[in-house]
Structure 1
Amino acid sequence: MNIEPCRLVVEQIGALFVCTPHAPYIRMRTPLLYPDGDVIDIFVRPQGNAMLVTDLGESLRWLRTQTSAGRRSPKQQQMIQDVCQTHGIELFNGMLVLRDVEPAKLAGAVLGLGQAASRVGDIWFTMRTRTTQSVTDDVEDLLRANELPFERGRKMRGRSGRDYSVDFEVHAPKHLSLVQVLSTGSRAATSGLVDHAYTLWSELAYHKAPGNPMQFVSLFDDTVDVWAREDFKLLETVSDQIVMWSRPDAVVQALAA
């Protein structure tokens, strides 16, 4: 059976899509856009009497380019899974995919996958507007998922007699970790967060003693590119470990080892 995807889509939904060859696929330029105005392209490949419809990974690739972080948070990964489930789409090797699409349903499949790609792009807004509280919630989810015992909002007295709140106290067989989360979407706010963490660790340093294995962990939310090299260098002087939220596996390793 000789399937002509472009003709089918025009017949079913009108001339809203521009088709160009993209061997072995046909590229369909949709009227849908990513948040920055980039056009969403969908790719179709005939397979016997049906068709494969995919974004060839462009949606997640676009999302990845919006941040310097190499990985998304667990909550963002779940949001992507939710989008796919809502639209009945498979996530395969980073691609949004619809398989075995019948010719009569091609236009709906192309439009539906394009809408899913747009929804994935909208996750960018959560990456820009996420607050320290939401990131801290994500860290709590990570600790629970890895069965690391913890106390959130641990109150401790500093050397000066002032009381401080540490985001997490995490218990492991060999040591106890105090974890402070640094997260903001504004470069103007970074210095205040770093100064606070510096003061926090300096004030609590007297709690460290022989027989009381304790480490200070500064956890940077690097899913938004706002931090300067000087921020890391300053906290390295008072932290036992600096970890990045873009690498949750390294966060777990630092706390559990």
Structure 2
Amino acid sequence: MTTRCETLADELGGLFTCVTNDRHERIRTPFLYPDGDNIDLFVTEKDGGLIVSDLGETLRWLRSQTLSPKRTPKQNALIADVCLTHGIEQFRGMLLARCRPGMTLATVTLRVAQACLRVSDLWFTFRTRAVESVADEVSDFLLEREIRFDRRPKMVGRSGRGWTPDFHVILPERGSLVSVLSTGNRSSARPVAEHTLAMWHDLNQLTYGPEALRLISLFDDTADVWQDEDFTLLDSLSEVRRWSEPETFIEALDAVA
């Protein structure tokens, strides 16, 4: 008799791996959470039918990425929209779908996996909100010092890709591009740093010539999430400053304190 794991292997191919234990089949999908971990799904038998779910892991992962214990109404609405779009039920924190007559297990598995992927991508809205909050503080600080700046300018790198650093600061002697790095979770700190590194590498041509720009990586160190390696990573292409030391940030801009 063909097992469910063998059926999934035939229908989904080698990118999905399946392991059977006493309670369920565990499916490792090729889809990734934003921090690089694989999205795993589980097939359980209930009253003669099959249910594919994440056993609550997606919402648990999402909750671990923020300091806030509760999601906002807008975030809950976005999750509900994802479930509606993919035909997924949310029950006790789990994202699940039933394998009904006429459906293949592979089709249902893909549907749940796509929903988990889209829900986990809400992390980017968490990060954007956190960065915007700190960036607002930086904006107020620059305004108090009467320093001119452009918020989230659109820049084009050598690769042709567009980037939006948080600030383009304009001073009489020299301009600077500033990226604000902020996150509430240690596991997402390295991806945030690597994203900024990629931006500075692509925009590095702007640091040459008579109107060369200075690149500044401003870490929000109010939360203890950064490792020394994160600062070192960006120190090679930019000037690293900490938001807890605003005067050194001003010095990096070459402004008069």
Q: TM-score, normalised by structure 1?
A: 0.51
Distance in 2, Cα, partners of 1:103 & 1:3: 18
Letter of the 1:5 counterpart: R
Which residue matches 2:113?
Answer: 114
**Higher RCO, 1 vs 2 (CA within 8 Å, ≥6 residues apart):** 1
Identity of aligned residues (%): 43
Distance in 1, Cα, partners of 2:115 & 2:64: 18
Distance in 2, Cα, partners of 1:48 & 1:3: 20
User: Alpha-carbon deviations, 1:160-202, whole Å to 9, x = none?
Assistant: xxxxxxxxxxxxxxxxxxxxxxx61559739849x9xxxxxxx
User: Alpha-carbon deviations, 1:126-184, whole Å to 9, x = none?
Assistant: 1111389xxxxxxxxxxxxxxxxxxxxxxxxxxxxxxxxxxxxxxxxxxxxxxxxxx61
Which residue matches 1:59?
Answer: 58
Aligned 8 A contact 1:51 1:102 in 2: no
Answer yes or no: is 1:189 the counterpart of 2:138. Answer: yes
Long gaps (5+) in structure 1: 133-182, 196-222, 230-257
Letter of the 1:98 counterpart: A
User: Alpha-carbon deviations, 1:49-85, whole Å to 9, x = none?
Assistant: 4311100000001101111110111100100000000
Distance in 2, Cα, partners of 1:45 & 1:34: 22
Q: TM-score, normalised by structure 2?
A: 0.51
Residues 7-18 of structure 1: pairs in structure 2 closer than 5 A:
7-18=6-17
Long gaps (5+) in structure 2: 145-181, 185-219, 224-257
Aligned 8 A contact 2:5 2:20 in 1: no
User: Alpha-carbon deviations, 1:1-27, whole Å to 9, x = none?
Assistant: x87321121122222211123541111
Which residue matches 1:87?
Answer: 86
Query: Bigger CA drift: 10-19 or 86-95?
Result: 10-19
Instruction: State the secondary structure of the residue aligned to 2:116.
Output: helix
- Pick closer, same or farther for the CA change 1:27–1:185 going to 2, 3 Å: farther
Distance in 1, Cα, partners of 2:34 & 2:87: 22
- Pick closer, same or farther for the CA change 1:185–1:125 going to 2, 3 Å: farther
Letter of the 2:24 counterpart: Y
Distance in 2, Cα, partners of 1:16 & 1:54: 18
Distance in 2, Cα, partners of 1:37 & 1:228: 25
Aligned 8 A contact 1:90 1:96 in 2: yes
Which residue matches 1:77?
Answer: 76
Distance in 1, Cα, partners of 2:101 & 2:76: 30
Distance in 2, Cα, partners of 1:117 & 1:72: 16
Question: What is the RMSD computed on CA atoms of the aligned residues?
Answer: 3.2
Aligned 8 A contact 2:52 2:108 in 1: yes
Instruction: State the secondary structure of the residue aligned to 1:40.
Output: strand
Shift of 1:114: 0.5
Answer yes or no: is 1:44 the counterpart of 2:72. Answer: no
Letter of the 2:94 counterpart: M
Instruction: State the secondary structure of the residue aligned to 2:121.
Output: helix
